[in-house]
Amino acid sequence: MSKTDVSGSAAQQTARFLLDIKAVNFRPDEPYMLTAGWASPVYVDCRWVISFPEARTRIMELGMEMLQDRGALTDVNSVAGGETAGIPYAAWMAQSLNLPMQYVRKKPKGFGRNAQIEGSLEAGKKVLLVEDMATDGGSKINFVNALRQAGADVSDIFVVFFYGAFPDALDTLEKAGVRLHYLATWQDVLDVARAENYFGNATCQAVDEFLKNPVDWSKAHGGRG
């Protein structure tokens, strides 16, 4: 990987890293079906970051700087990662902060202790939930509820990437009493891709059309609407 330009905002730097390591995928003619049921012409594979030390180090630095500035790390006792993509990000952050870590399963494992939370978690402790990305916020609520049922105090979530397109995502999380902190959105990635010629105009235009009305685009391409 060539050394990424680390000038500009946190969003621009994150977008460049994701583009440089080829974690950004454009496929307008064969849309991706996201876990939440939306059809999308674009997909960011944040799991890809684990293989690139420069990118993962700087992205985590940017994330912790942002969380510190927003007071989201105040009195945090541990860091929890969501199964499975959030686990490495939570591990890196917990190590940097010298804090305990847990990870949260999508559902109890069904045998042994039938645990949904792995790792030691004391009731009443403040936990930061860490994930790789967020689309409409639905899966984050599942993880938050599991942590709260185990006695944790959860008020903040960190993700590297937030679609920033689908309706009511932030409202859903706000109603659940959590704040979502993210480094970059699709608009950030598209702006950098266009300005720095990562992709052709036709590809960028296809993403523009999606971002203007993602719900109708999804419905027209076989996803939820």
Going by pLDDT thresholds of 50, 70 and 90, the confidence category of residue 4 is: low
- Going through 74-223 in order, the beta strands assigned E by DSSP cover 78-82, 101-104, 117-118, 127-134, 156-162, 179-185
Do the Cβ atoms of 164 and 185 come closer than 8 Å?
yes
Question: Which pLDDT value is given to residue 202?
Answer: 85
Q: What domains, with CATH codes, occur in the chain? A: 10-217 (3.40.50.2020)
What distance separates the 2 farthest-apart alpha carbons in the chain? 54
Q: What is the pLDDT of residue 1?
A: 44
Classify residue 176 by burial, with Cβ atoms within 10 Å: 0-12, 13-18, 19+.
middle
More confident residue, 1 or 184: 184
Tell me if the pTM is above 0.85.
yes
CA distance 203 to 117: 41
Taken in order 6, 59, 31, 167, the sign of the CA dihedral is negative
